[in-house]
Amino acid sequence: MRASTVATAALVAGSTQVQAAPTFGLAFGLLKGLTTTVHADINLLLGSLGLGVQTNANVHGQAIGFGGVGCPFSLANQAAVSVNAGLHGGLSHNIGWTAGVNGGAFINWRNFKANGVTLSGWLVQDKSLDVDWWNKYGSDCDDEWSLTAKLGAQAGAILEARYASYITTSYIDALAAAGINLLRIPTHYAAWVSVPGSALYHGNQQAYLKTICQYAIERHGMHIVIGLDSLPGGVNGLAAGERIGATAWFNSAENLSYSFQAIDAILGFISATGHVNAFTISPINEPCDVTAQFATQGGLSLGATNFINTYVQGVLKKIGQIDARIPCMVQDAFLGHDYWAPFFSVGANIVIDSHVSFSGAVGAGISAGIGAGIDAAANVGAGVNAGVNAGANVAAGVGAKVGAGVGAGVGAAAGVDAGAKVGAGVGAGVGAGVGAGVDAGAKVGAGVGAGVDAGAKVGAGVGAGVNAGVKAGANTGANAGVSANVNLSAHLIAPSVCKQASLLKGSGKFPVFVGSYGIQAQEGNTLSGRKTIYNTQKYAYAQNLSGGCFSHAKANSNTIAVAGEGSASDYNSFQSLMSANVATKNTDSCYC
């Protein structure tokens, strides 16, 4: 892992608040295969597991096109659906939800039906989910890495107080009353292993996690998915992936070694709970080594695919040393089941995790307030007036011309024309203050009045989080099924999900779980329509797949506007949905 700044190193070395994470299960230390040495040689590291570097990325299957907005469904044939029909479904369903824990039996994801919620903003901090808290402690910080560095010696006390209060057993009771049978819990690697040079806090996260997990399992029979949302070096350039702008995890033997240590710690934690059968391990989340093309087919290189497969094969080996019946969840990087299926034998105990968003903000930690309206004559990049059109000048004051078929927003080739907006005001995978990269692979940074031509990269002050490059022919929306002339409008969601949820199933070689879904659309959001959109997804994912998981347990985002009624909290907070009688145990007001 690359060395951090002197200030960050001093923080980690000198903080009196940082405590060693507790170790559960002394007997676990006697097990074989523990990664106790940090390896600089990847072959030595993998050799200890009886593995080699994976090099067969080229045999991947067909990818689903998410197009950078997080929606894999086609809305083209639904444009004529009336608003009332789309928002006010009248069907009710009695879904036979599977028990998250059934005695000592392990779940089979092929039969398991998950009705889950993600405990985001708890052990992994997200600025968009608790605006008041961030304004209090680090309004000028965009990720937890910079927040912890700013807080210095106070970081431990502040974060530990949050761990103790943000998610409580009484909140787990409320989730159970709403019919929740699964908790997806994101963690940083720092909850499991101390990595030199990392600014992320390494403290008592496991103790708080243990309290919630054991209560949820023993009191309510919930299944727990423990996720590693970040890995040393950064897995996607987003805040939750470690820190904004970081993708150094890929192809680093040292970072891989620390990642295996984190997996060992998770397995030790699971073993010590006495409920090994109640857990699934998710070793990586939304990986992407080309951040500017996050949530598109161009977001993951073949080299990165090989490195992920090398890591996951090692994780499977380590799980097998404890109990091969513990499932491993493989996040699909917005590429879908079929892309990953060829890499694993049919008997592998894996479940594919797909994420679905209708707002464009598919990546946790993408800063809000980014305007990337892209149409003919749209503004591209803060203060840059870019009329994007065949032969049009791109960027005010710049004489660069984008030839027909090259510029973003050129007819159907890019899937963007007048009226088709990508992530308007939402982010569409665009990092804080960053407009959108518009043309063949181009990245246009915020406030950059530079010429945009084929292949040009303009990154002004982006460093981190330049998350959208709408490239010619990459179908912003067309691959994702979002046709030109159609925005991701709320009234289109329910009918589209009903007809196409099975798309995520792919060939069916492995079970598929929608590990994160939301109900906020890019436009046309109504408070009265939330129940139908929520229940329609809840039903459709259970009918066609292994169920789903709502994206956020809580969200204090009342100051973040949406296109339509209410605020972001009204759509992104499960707590708010429960309070409004939108999320209940019953599945009624469903469109399907």
Encode pLDDT of 218-276 as tens digits: 999 999 999 999 999 999 999 999 999 999 999 999 999 999 999 999 999 999 999 99
- pLDDT: is 77 or 61 the higher one? 61
Give me the residues paired with residue 547 across strands.
114
Token digits of residue 209: 């996690």
Choice among 27-31, 281-285, 375-379, 451-455 with the minimum mean pLDDT = 375-379
**What is the model's pLDDT at position 36?**
54
**What is the model's pLDDT at position 89?**
67
Give me the residues paired with residue 351 across strands.
329
CA distance 437 to 456: 9
Domain parsing of the chain, residue ranges:
26-65+90-343+353-359+488-590, 369-480
**What is the model's pLDDT at position 374?**
25
Encode pLDDT of 124-162 as tens digits: 999 999 999 999 999 999 999 999 999 999 999 999 999
Averaged pLDDT, 89-117: 92
Averaged pLDDT, 403-425: 32
Encode pLDDT of 67-76 as tens digits: 767 888 876 5
Question: Which CATH topology does 26-65+90-343+353-359+488-590 take?
Answer: TIM Barrel (3.20.20)
- Say if residues 258 and 311 touch (Cβ distance below 8 Å): no
- Say if residues 77 and 481 touch (Cβ distance below 8 Å): no
Token digits of residue 361: 């903000």
What's the Cα-to-Cα distance from 264 to each of 204, 283, 541, 549, rounded to whole Å?
Answer: 17, 11, 32, 26
CA-nearest of 510, 519, 572 to 546 is: 510
Dihedral sign, CA of 257, 260, 262, 265?
negative
**What is the model's pLDDT at position 558?**
87
CA distance 182 to 266: 18
Dihedral sign, CA of 533, 536, 542, 545?
negative
Burial class (CB in 10 A: 0-12, 13-18, 19+), 40: exposed
Q: Is residue 484's pLDDT more than 50?
A: no
- Say if residues 565 and 520 touch (Cβ distance below 8 Å): no
φ, ψ at 470 (rounded to 5°): -95, 100
Residues in the chain: 592
Q: Angle, nearest 10°, between helix axes 169-177 and 205-220?
A: 40
Token digits of residue 457: 């990269």
Residue 101's pLDDT band, with cuts at 50, 70 and 90, is: very high
